[in-house]
Amino acid sequence: MFLVHPEKNKTDINLYGAVQISNTAFLVYKNSQGKVELKTGKEEKLQKKAVKNMLLRNPAVKKLLDKYKIKLSINTKTLKELTGGHMNETCNIAKGVYSILAENLNPEIDQSIVKEASMLHDLGKILIPSKILNKPARLNSKEREIMNIHSTLGYELLKSQGVKEEILELVKYHHQNLNKSGYPEFEEELPQNLPLGMQIVSIADKYSALREARVYRRKLSRLEALLILYKEVREGKVHPAVYEALMKYASLYDTDV
Ligand SMILES: [Fe+2]
Ligand SMILES: [Fe+2]
């Protein structure tokens, strides 16, 4: 178990963290009696309660929703799909890329941090209106702006749970690029290069997304996905060594065409 959070009252249900067991991601909840429950995303009531607790504990979430005129609704169906699919797959890829990179260099971050951040990275999508999240066409600029706050929303939701700062940072910046052309902007100056943990979660997220069918496009083949990311290497968005590790991972473990 990785996370600790403050207890409030007897009826509290809190998101406690995420674990992966036999390659399946589970969100972990905890009530005030200290009972830890593993859920696969079926318990919608429990999830809504947990998210409400996160909202109550951090007014920054509501402020952000108000700023973008987003009506509060907790989309547990989204979380169920994300946990069972994309976040789990991102975690598998991130673990693989981490291990390959760690053979030659020191990632300066624990693999457990990268794993847990990968499993939680898109949590903020639970608050993005489903008509934007599931729009079967290109988003307009206003919708894109709203969609892009999901990483900050996830960060703020988890912050109220006492999640480790290292995990929070990876969640917040999982859409950042090596050349810092992604979002959100860094509030303070980071070291010259984007930390390796962020690069790993970012490339795993991108590859996982490209390899899935989305409402607006088909699933891309392994080669198509790798070519798109190679273009990002040439644009300075992805570090060549991280890309090479992903290629190695894909050739070893992504056996699907
Ligand atoms: Fe994301
Ligand atoms: Fe993602």
- Could you tell me the two tokens for 68? 């973008």
Q: Around Cβ 6, how many Cβ atoms within 10 Å?
A: 10
Omega before 184 within 30 of 0, i.e. cis: yes
Ligand 1 centroid to 72 CA: how many Å?
19
Ligand 1 centroid to 244 CA: how many Å?
22
pLDDT value at residue 25: 67
Indicate which ligand has the atom closest to the C-alpha of 206. 2
Angle in degrees, CA 150, 156, 118, rounded to 5: 60
Ligand 2 centroid to 170 CA: how many Å?
12
Indicate which ligand has the atom closest to the C-alpha of 128. 1
Are 98 and 107 a contacting pair, CB within 8 Å?
yes
Ligand 1 centroid to 32 CA: how many Å?
31
pLDDT value at residue 256: 80
Are 175 and 150 a contacting pair, CB within 8 Å?
no
Indicate which ligand has the atom closest to the C-alpha of 176. 1
Residue 32 to residues 3, 27, 129, 157, 193, Cα–Cα distance (Å): 15, 17, 31, 19, 41
pLDDT value at residue 192: 65
How far is 81 from 94, CA to CA, in rounded Å?
19
Q: Around Cβ 138, how many Cβ atoms within 10 Å?
A: 9
Domain ranges of the chain: 49-253
Ligand 1 centroid to 9 CA: how many Å?
32
Ligand 2 centroid to 205 CA: how many Å?
5
pLDDT single digits (tens) 28-62: 777 777 766 665 555 677 778 888 888 888 999 99
Q: Around Cβ 10, how many Cβ atoms within 10 Å?
A: 8
pLDDT value at residue 252: 94
CATH number for the segment(s) 49-253: 1.10.3210.10
pLDDT value at residue 173: 95
Residue 168 to residues 35, 191, 252, Cα–Cα distance (Å): 24, 17, 30
Ligand 1 centroid to 212 CA: how many Å?
14
pLDDT value at residue 143: 95
Q: Which residues of the chain have pLDDT under 70?
A: 1-11, 20-25, 35-43, 187-192
SS3 of residue 19 by DSSP: strand
pLDDT value at residue 4: 42
Ligand 2 centroid to 9 CA: how many Å?
33
pLDDT value at residue 233: 97
Residue 41 neighbours by CB under 8 Å, 6+ apart: 27, 47, 76, 79, 80, 81, 83, 84
Q: What is the pTM of this model?
A: 0.87
Residue 19 phi, psi dihedral angles, 5° rounding? -135, 160
Residue type, 70: I
Is 117 buried (19+), middle (13-18) or exposed (0-12) by CB count in 10 A? buried
